[in-house]
A and B are shown apart, each in its own frame.
Chain A
Amino acid sequence: MNKDMKILVVDDFSTMRRIIKNLLRDLGFTNTDEADDGNSALPMLQTGKYDFLVTDWNMPGMTGIDLLRNVRADENLKSLPVLMVTAEAKRDQIVAAAQAGVNGYVVKPFTAAVLKEKIEKIFERIDS
């Protein structure tokens, strides 16, 4: 796993973005940017050469699930690994996220250990 990889963190709450950025920094990832919803994230992804996307689901503007669908529909972004970190906990929603092509799903409230484990699992699969 490349610790210099460029990560975009998308959440409408600035405190949650800060928490995720701090946890990522503890895991050795310091190259992180933030966006507050899908509408601001998508153009950043299209021009910014990101290696990994961490997104919330429930956001005003474009939601995380729509952002995921847009990413998968975009020729240049379709293989971008996406981790969803969200309070959405209905089975239907998790199935929908899986069908939309999410690489990992973490429900809030979460721990640093869970975030670490999911990120490692995603990149283990990609690297193998």
Chain B
Amino acid sequence: MTKDKNASDEPVTAFEEALKSQANKLMSLVNSGDLSGALAIISELNETRDRTLYVEVGRLTRTLHESIRNFHIDAANSASSANKEELSKIEDASDRLAYVVDMTNKAANKTLDLVEETMPIASDLSAEAEALKNEWGRLKRKEMKPDEFRALTSRMDVFLEQLCTDSNKVYRNLSDILLAQDFQDLTGQVINRVTGLVKEVEDNLVHLVRMAGKVDQITGTVHETEQQQSGIEGEGPQLKAEQREDVVSGQDDVDDLLSSLGF
């Protein structure tokens, strides 16, 4: 790409050199009153400029075509294409990201299902253990009548039986929760591929913009820079929050900010 860049610098530089060398000549011709000679130089300069422009526009168009071919962007075919191989890279990336959303959604729901199933088991066991602990204390302090003791024994039987089944169930659910985290490996790989594509697209776009800049230079086009929109919009999670002044780094920061506002 570096070689490419140097090559594409050439015509502009040649044009600039021609412009510089002819400018002095033009000046002296105008000063000496040779208008037809001066006009000949102007039209010569115009020709060089046009030629350079054609070369640059040609380059830009070719690079644009190449980029489009590289990413298999084909507006006419992509929608109806039956051949999956022909799928555009961008479309493929969107599909891949949709897959990530789907996988993480399934994993989160599966984990939540298992947690919601396990929590009542744990709290029931804890409640019954608490009750039995109190009864056991009464037994040890010899506060228990024989029929109460018999009731405690059978209650203990039931509890131990329940404990065996339930602790197995809790163990199985925890191990299923563990397995439900396997999405990380798969989604990680997919996201890394998409990140690679985004980088590639960015490089290509930067290259295109650089080439288009040369055309702007020759034609003397100046682009207005868009003003940044201000307003309060949702942006989602902030990255590198700890390095930024305008973003809070955690709940403590939020609390400090709110209390400074009188909350």
Interface of A toward B, CB cutoff 8 Å: 14-15, 18-19, 22, 57-59, 63-65, 86-96, 98, 105-108, 110, 114
Contact = CB atoms under 8 A, between A and B. Distances in A.
A83 to B, nearest CB: 12
Nearest to A65: B232
A36 B234 CA distance: 16
Contacts of B115: 22
B248 A107 contact: yes
A94 B248 contact: yes
A98 B258 contact: yes
B68 to A, nearest CB: 31
B70 interface: no
B192 interface: no
A58 B257 contact: no
A91 B248 contact: yes
Interface in B198-256: 232, 234-238, 241, 246-251, 254
30 contacts: A14-B109, A15-B108, A15-B109, A15-B112, A22-B115, A22-B119, A58-B234, A58-B235, A58-B236, A64-B234, A65-B234, A87-B238, A88-B234, A89-B238, A89-B241, A89-B247, A89-B254, A90-B235, A91-B257, A92-B246, A93-B235, A94-B254, A94-B258, A95-B257, A98-B258, A98-B261, A98-B263, A107-B248, A107-B251, A108-B237
B234 A106 contact: no
B85 interface: no
Contact of B235 (A88, A98, A107): A88
A22 B116 CA distance: 8
A57 B234 contact: yes
Contact of B254 (A14, A64, A105): A105
Top 10 closest pairs, chain A to chain B, by CB: A58-B234, A15-B108, A87-B237, A96-B232, A89-B238, A18-B112, A89-B248, A89-B247, A57-B234, A98-B261
B105 interface: yes
